[in-house]
Amino acid sequence: MSGHSKWSTIKRKKGAKDAKRGAVFTRLTKDITLAARDGGGDINMNAALRLAVKKAKISNMPNDNIDRAIKKGTGDLPGIKYESYIYEGYGPYGVAILIEVLTDNKNRTVPEIRHMLTKNNGNLGESGCVSWMFEKKGTILINKNNLDDETFLSDLLELGIENFEDLDDEYEILIEPDDFSQAITSLENKGYDLEGDLSLIPTNTLSINQNQLDKIIQLIEILEEHEDVQKVHTNIELNE
């Protein structure tokens, strides 16, 4: 790959590494919880949750784990009240970091996140310090296996989708959050092999090199291992 590599591509490569490290259930649980928190616990009405549950079942996650993750997201877990927060800050080399958190004890979580950032060449910032660099979008990744390009383009036009990007083995579509669920359902009905979720996409990216990437990935992995952290977003773009 030449030129610039988006964080979405880097993230998927890192996701494969997570799976090899045996962390796949933890990551899937967080995806389910976050999807349920944002769109409710009905998989028929919540496309992001449906895709997260589908991925979990492919990975043989027990149904009890899936149900518990959904209830955590919807707040239906007996005796525990979870609240969601977004914390903002900076990582190594001035990279912007947004951290989505779901916790039952904010007073415990905040100092722990601050400590992790400080210990790894970052710092926790004030509200609004980096959030202006991001916007919420639906991200849809479509597997190219057995895909007919002409039919694919025709289907996208039919759905009113004009912009997509070629990412090696997949096509990436960015779509407005309000259109995400309907687009997923329509593409599923047409038989496409896809993944997708609602995410925060950087509008201002910071170009870094391969040598800088390792420190940034290390911090993100440390943050993601925290039980209260649901997702970590950054504005890096790899200049290869």
Q: What is the pLDDT of residues 79-128, one digit of tens each?
A: 778 888 999 999 999 999 999 998 889 999 999 999 999 999 999 999 99
pTM above 0.85, yes or no: no
Chain centre to alpha carbon of residue 64: 23
Q: What is the dihedral of CA 28, 33, 34, 38, to 10 degrees?
A: 140
pLDDT for the residue numbered 197: 84
Whether the CB-CB separation of 77 and 102 falls below 8 Å is answered with no
pLDDT for the residue numbered 86: 95
Could you say which residues of the chain have pLDDT below 70?
1-23, 240
Going from the C-alpha of 56 to that of each of 32, 64, 78, the distances in angstroms are 8, 12, 23
Q: Distance between CA atoms of 67 and 200, rounded to whole angstroms? A: 25
Give the chain's domains with CATH numbers. 4-74 (1.10.10.200), 83-131+205-239 (3.30.70.980), 133-202 (3.30.70.980)
